[in-house]
Amino acid sequence: MDERRHARYERIYEQLRGLIVGTSPNVTAAMATICAVLHAKMPHHLWTGFYLVAEDDALYVGPYQGPVACQVLRAGGVCLQAVLTSRAVVVDDVHTFPGHIACDPRARSEIVVPWLVGDRVAAVLDVDAAQPRQFSDEDIEPLSRIVGLLPAG
């Protein structure tokens, strides 16, 4: 990751920490704040949002910024892969990902970071970009730190 991007993540983390820790009234408000700040400050983000685990095979859209989203994700896709593995998933080109769910045909690359409550994935942060290869494994740690600001209840 280049130094500017790393520094941007650090500034975003500090800003969000001040806005969320001890301040957010609940997890929904914290998620909305994370989405708003990331979407505004990361120019390559086409869509920035959370999907909430609703059932074993279904996610419901939560707070987000960007174009209209799929309200329900079922059976496959990058987000459910992150839920099933409890691990972040980085996709260079979503058109090559088996079972990719195209909510917006402009999306080309994606990163999904799970939010665990205890040992269970409760939601995922999903970020799409309009260009291929906009995310790498180096984005996982700073985004995981940001997701870690969410209150546990």
Structural domain contains residue 128: yes
d(CA 115, CA 50): 9
d(CA 135, CA 100): 17
In CATH, what number is assigned to the domain containing residue 42?
3.30.450.40
Range of the domain at 84: 3-147
Structural domain contains residue 153: no
Structural domain contains residue 22: yes
| Domain total in the chain | 1
Structural domain contains residue 152: no
d(CA 102, CA 80): 13
> Which residues, 6+ apart, have CB-to-CB distance to 17 below 8 Å?
149
Tens-level pLDDT at each residue, the chain (153 residues): 688 989 999 999 999 999 999 999 999 999 999 999 999 999 999 999 999 999 778 999 999 999 999 999 987 789 999 999 999 999 999 999 888 887 888 999 999 999 999 999 999 999 999 999 999 999 999 999 999 999 975
Task: Say whether 18 sits in a helix, a strand or coil.
Answer: helix
For the entire predicted model, the pTM comes to 0.95
pLDDT in tens, 2-46: 889 899 999 999 999 999 999 999 999 999 999 999 999 999 999
d(CA 57, CA 61): 14
Structural domain contains residue 53: yes
Q: What is the DSSP letter of 102?
A: -
